[in-house]
Amino acid sequence: MTQTAIRVDKLSDVTEHVPTFVAVGSFDGVHLGHRAVLNAMISEAKAVRARTAVLTFFPHPKRVIQQMTEPYYLGTLDERVALLASLGIDLIITHPFNDDVRHTRAATFVDDLCRYLDMRQLWGGNFALGYKREGDIPTLRQLGETRGYTVQQVEAMVPWQGERVSSSRIRRSLLEGDMAEVNGCLGRPYGVSGIIVAGKRLGHTIGFPTANIDFWEEQLLPANGVYATYAWLGDERHLAATNVGVRPTVNGSAVTVEAHLLDFDADIYGRTLRLEFIDRIRPEMKFAGLDALKTQIAADVAEVRTLLG
């Protein structure tokens, strides 16, 4: 997070009441479409020396409304906050989404934004606020006439390869393992982070030791397969062949994320590893035995060198 960004856990925690331009939404992934809205807001706010704020919901409204339990997020909340702060947002509110918020009427919600933030402009793309999304753009503008704010709608048709960028498009592409599509829509490589934990050490027995990461289980992973990735240990970047999947050759069942760092040999258990997924080399396969698996991993490593070296 930048030094000037302030983070609070809910709207009522905001203590400084100053003229504010605010964007409200989930902003999962902070993709190119989100950034188009936020960059426009930041530019306008700077011109009049107003504060910029993002109110982002957590958990995602769909987790509450649809009682969704499968992996869904495009990154952790801390990563989302860091991305928002990197754009130059002054205030980031990680507001809890629960049944009370779900049933809040649009008028009450904007009253709270005005009360705690001194909201002067409300920014977004094709968005709505309040119970059953009753606060559409015309309604929000009508409310603003009596509450002293205006609504600034940014056309969120930010394209990638001729199609609109959206979080749902990114999720579909992740499930297909199409990292060119995912990374193009994000404007950066898709990342998965976690603490390096001990596995079964099968990689060591065939000459390809792997770092097994304890990833956040609510984050959506790329489709099972082997990927060319960049592996970050702090500020150190390494090339890595990363497997996402259940390891059918050794009768695995649970999904793991394991990275073989090229030209690297050190004890890194307990450290945080961040993987940036660049390209999918192949789908996950079941081999006849460890010798066949070893031969294939050697080919995968060679492919990683070609793609990233």
Q: Express each pLDDT in 220-253 by its tens digit.
A: 999 999 999 999 999 999 999 999 998 766 666 6
Q: Mean per-residue pLDDT for 79-85?
A: 97
Residue 199 and residue 104 share a domain: no
Q: 173 lies in a domain?
A: no
Name the nearest CA neighbour of 90 among 25, 16, 33, 10: 16
Q: Which pTM was predicted? A: 0.92
Q: 290 lies in a domain?
A: yes
DSSP 264: -
pLDDT digits (tens, 9 = 90+) for 152-168: 998 756 788 888 899 99
Full DSSP string of 170-220: HHHHHHHT-HHHHHHHHTS-EEEEEEEE----HHHHTT---EEEEE-TTBP
Residue 84 and residue 16 share a domain: yes
Contact 185, 31 (CB under 8 A): yes
Can you give the CATH number for the domain in which 219 is found? Answer: 2.40.30.30
Residue 101 and residue 152 share a domain: yes
Contact 192, 277 (CB under 8 A): yes
Q: How confident is the model at residue 2 (pLDDT cuts 50, 70, 90)?
A: very low
Residue 223 and residue 155 share a domain: no
Residue 156 and residue 11 share a domain: yes
Lowest model confidence (mean pLDDT) among 118-132, 174-188, 272-286: 118-132
* 45-59, 200-214, 287-301: range with highest mean pLDDT: 45-59
Helix axes 32-48, 77-87, angle to 10 degrees: 40
Residue 269 and residue 156 share a domain: no
CA distance 104 to 136: 14
Q: Mean pLDDT for the chain?
A: 92
Which of 139, 160, 181 is the endpoint of a domain?
160
Which of 140, 160, 180 is the endpoint of a domain?
160
Residue 289 and residue 250 share a domain: yes
Query: Tokens at residue 232, please?
Result: 């970050």
Q: How many domains does the chain have?
A: 2
Q: Supply the range of the domain harboring residue 229.
A: 189-308
Which helix or strand (DSSP H or E) is residue 281 part of? strand 272-283
**What pLDDT does residue 203 have?**
61
